[in-house]
Structure 1
Amino acid sequence: MTHLTVAVRKGALILLALLLGSDLWAGVAQQDASIASVCRTLSREPALALVGAEHAQVAHEVGAHFSMQASDQYRVSEAERLTDIATQLLAADVLFREVLGLTPPLQRPRYQQADFIMVILRTEQVRGGQAYDEVVRNPAIPECHIRMALGGRVEAATNLTPAHELFHLYQNAHMMFKQGWVHEGLARWSESLLSGDVQPGPPLPTASSDLESIMQSSYGAVTLWQRLFYLLDPQGRISLPSSLMSLRYHDGSQVVTLEHLHGSRFVAPLFEALHQASISLAEQQQWPTYGWAEAEQRSLQYNHAILAALYRAISAYAPKEHQPEELRRFMQLIDTMLKERE
């Protein structure tokens, strides 16, 4: 066994480098490099070290190619935790690609410079997670990559944070908008792909004040997306790869329990509309395509651009004559709000 000096006591970050195969997270799209994000060097980053356990047989169980090593202090329970996280991420990636029809992050123009997705386990953090949007490298890991971080004690069998953060990477690859009602509301909705907790949601807002309130919210905006997706696809029929339904965590629980999902075919057109809106807004403001300031990415003053993109996506997906009355009223509300802003 290879021994590493992973300075957990010094608060060093433990790295789980998920090099998930050339077919899954590695292939880089052949796009115009001039519009891709620049690979930035993180010169002040705390030391990172590969972790894992050879005896966990992760590659055999999950079909992944891991670059993992373990110190003598690394327990079997820790190896199981890593395997469960990897299993959830792989399942989520298949769901996002095959059920929602989204293009993987590394195949999008923004991340042409990235070679892989890295997952960092933070020893000083118990739970939670964070997705980053830049292409980076550091002295210890010279290859360009994008990354997400998880609390070092995240238990995937009872916590969907890994899938949630991976969905953020999909969002970052498609759009520059990080307004909470879109960024966190949709990511919270994405958790239902694994949990199977599919809800029809409450009625859509009928007054501008109600919609404005939702657009100032974050995770709570999930109810808007639930309802919208339900109205666009009330039957929610989906077809899942049999391999997903057979996946289990170490405790024997099922990784994916989804039976139906409303609006699965609308997500990709929605993401494309938001992508185009991002490009248009960058051109109007004379910003770099993928170089927006963080404050601009989160600014609520650009909700009108998101609403316009949402309106266009719905109109293309479900023409007015095919929209239920509740959805038609919602579309009229958006149209009115956009015209009032002109």
Structure 2
Amino acid sequence: MQAVLALSVLWALFLGLLPGAARAQDQADREPGLQQGPEGAGCRISKNAHRLALTQRHEFNGIRVFYALEGPHALYTGVDLNGNGVPDMVEDAALHLDTVRRIYLANGFRDPLRSPRFRQAETIDIDLLNFDAYSPGVADKRGLSFSAVIRYPGSSARADRCTLSIAINAALAGNHERVKDYLIPHELFHLFQYGHAMFRASWYLEGMAKWAEWVTLAENRRNPTLWSTPLPATPTELRARVFANPNPYDVRHFWNRLAELAKAGEPPMAMPDELRARRFADGSPVVRDEIWRGHALMLRILQAFGEETEAVARERGLPPYQWPDADQRDTAHNPRLMRVVQRALAASGVRHNDEIARFLAIDPAAANQN
């Protein structure tokens, strides 16, 4: 999954820039290897050799998957159960992303392609790359997502379209199975997060994206602590378990607990009828159940984060969707974001108990002090 703390480096690599360059997005037009698009277009040109090496394309409902059958980016598995000439890993990735995207939309989340930030993007692409060749520093990662609109004029397969993208590690054994369970919902949800707000706090991006993985997964009792770990009760706990947690993915316990507490007061998840019958190439269902606890609360939080994005841009005199990297990651935003979470939970209609009362009483500013 995405390593948020390394995104600046990956952003430069993604665009074909110098290795190790960690730059703010609004400085990228001065980097070697990158050309700026038309004035105000917000669609950048990339000549990244690894992306251009993906010459095979599969398309499903407007979702495009680019991959290679040979060379350094060849898929680790070419299994093709239905014999149609397209590897199952490729078909399953497109099918799952289209399914998850439609469920997100049906439940009120704003399509990143419809967001003001990404208004120039025409499609969402999946690039199946060997991460060891693409960027050795992320060789053990299963997926990445990118918050830039890009076009590739050097690729005939991509038809010079402006796109958002996620990348899946094509060389990591077992990743086909991960494509069919948590990987696609996680990376796609990052694009939805980027479309709603500019904040890059890892406790928010990764923790909430871990919650989103359950959109098509079947809930079970193999790990009860996923839903039962109490909310932080003191500023010290909030800092240790959320703001300063060294493993941002572990903050899923915080977001999952919010979802568990909120589920009683929200409507069932919306599910387009035609998605229920969808099957992966091996015959297994794409949607494992129709339980997605906390979706209404998370939507309110994301929408409010968007409002806070506008407020911060005004306060700091920033372009609405072109913040310097330091502003996106500034930990000074933590109290502001947590107050949004507290207000959303308080207004969710959930009956308050001692756990909720203690959490709502925390001053997030006190938890953000070193």
TM-score by length of 2: 0.71
Aligned length: 296
Q: Deviations over 1:213-242 (max 9, x none)?
A: 122221111111111121122377434333
Matched with 1:103 is 110
Whether the 8 Å contact between 1:232 and 1:262 is mirrored in structure 2 is: yes
2:142 equivalent to 1:128: yes
Whether the 8 Å contact between 1:201 and 1:224 is mirrored in structure 2 is: no
Shift of 1:41: 1.8
Q: How does 1:151-300 map to 2 (within 5 A)?
A: 151-153=169-171, 154-156=175-177, 158-197=180-219, 199-213=226-240, 214-217=242-245, 218-234=248-264, 237-300=268-331
Shift of 1:301: 2.5
Whether the 8 Å contact between 2:196 and 2:302 is mirrored in structure 1 is: yes
Whether the 8 Å contact between 2:62 and 2:123 is mirrored in structure 1 is: no
Q: Any runs of at least 4 consecutive aligned residues in structure 1 with deviations exceeding 6 A, and if so which?
A: 67-74, 339-342
CA distance 1:308–1:130, change in 2 (3 Å): same
SS at match of 1:143: coil
- Residue among 337, 347, 353 paired with 1:324: 353
2:84 equivalent to 1:79: no
Structure 2 letter corresponding to 1:81: M
Structure 2 letter corresponding to 1:131: S
Shift of 1:192: 0.9
RMSD of equivalent CA atoms: 3.1
| Structure 1 range deviating more: 225-234 or 134-143 | 134-143
Shift of 1:255: 1.5
CA distance 1:76–1:221, change in 2 (3 Å): closer
Whether the 8 Å contact between 2:219 and 2:291 is mirrored in structure 1 is: no
Structure 1 letter corresponding to 2:288: T
Shift of 1:323: 3.0
Whether the 8 Å contact between 2:128 and 2:170 is mirrored in structure 1 is: yes
Shift of 1:51: 1.2
Shift of 1:176: 1.0
Cα distance in 2 between the residues matched to 1:179 and 1:67: 29
Whether the 8 Å contact between 1:208 and 1:337 is mirrored in structure 2 is: yes
CA distance 1:144–1:171, change in 2 (3 Å): same
Cα distance in 1 between the residues matched to 2:68 and 2:47: 25
SS at match of 1:191: helix
Whether the 8 Å contact between 1:51 and 1:69 is mirrored in structure 2 is: yes
TM-score by length of 1: 0.76
Cα distance in 1 between the residues matched to 2:67 and 2:169: 19
Whether the 8 Å contact between 1:91 and 1:244 is mirrored in structure 2 is: yes
Cα distance in 2 between the residues matched to 1:65 and 1:337: 40
Whether the 8 Å contact between 1:228 and 1:327 is mirrored in structure 2 is: no
Structure 2 letter corresponding to 1:42: S
Cα distance in 2 between the residues matched to 1:340 and 1:186: 19
Whether the 8 Å contact between 1:189 and 1:222 is mirrored in structure 2 is: yes
CA distance 1:151–1:280, change in 2 (3 Å): same
| Structure 1 range deviating more: 308-317 or 145-154 | 308-317
Q: Deviations over 1:71-106 (max 9, x none)?
A: 79995536211111111111211221113x101100
Q: Deviations over 1:112-164 (max 9, x none)?
A: 11111121110355761111101122222532221111111430465421221
SS at match of 2:93: helix
Q: Unaligned 5+ residue runs, structure 2?
A: 1-13, 15-39, 81-85, 133-138, 221-225
SS at match of 1:256: coil
CA distance 1:304–1:37, change in 2 (3 Å): farther
Q: Unaligned 5+ residue runs, structure 1?
A: 1-12, 14-35
Matched with 1:42 is 46
Structure 2 letter corresponding to 1:135: V
Whether the 8 Å contact between 1:92 and 1:163 is mirrored in structure 2 is: yes
Structure 2 letter corresponding to 1:117: I
Whether the 8 Å contact between 1:230 and 1:262 is mirrored in structure 2 is: yes
Shift of 1:186: 0.6
Cα distance in 2 between the residues matched to 1:340 and 1:189: 23
Shift of 1:261: 2.5
Q: Deviations over 1:246-287 (max 9, x none)?
A: 222122222111242322212221111001111211221222
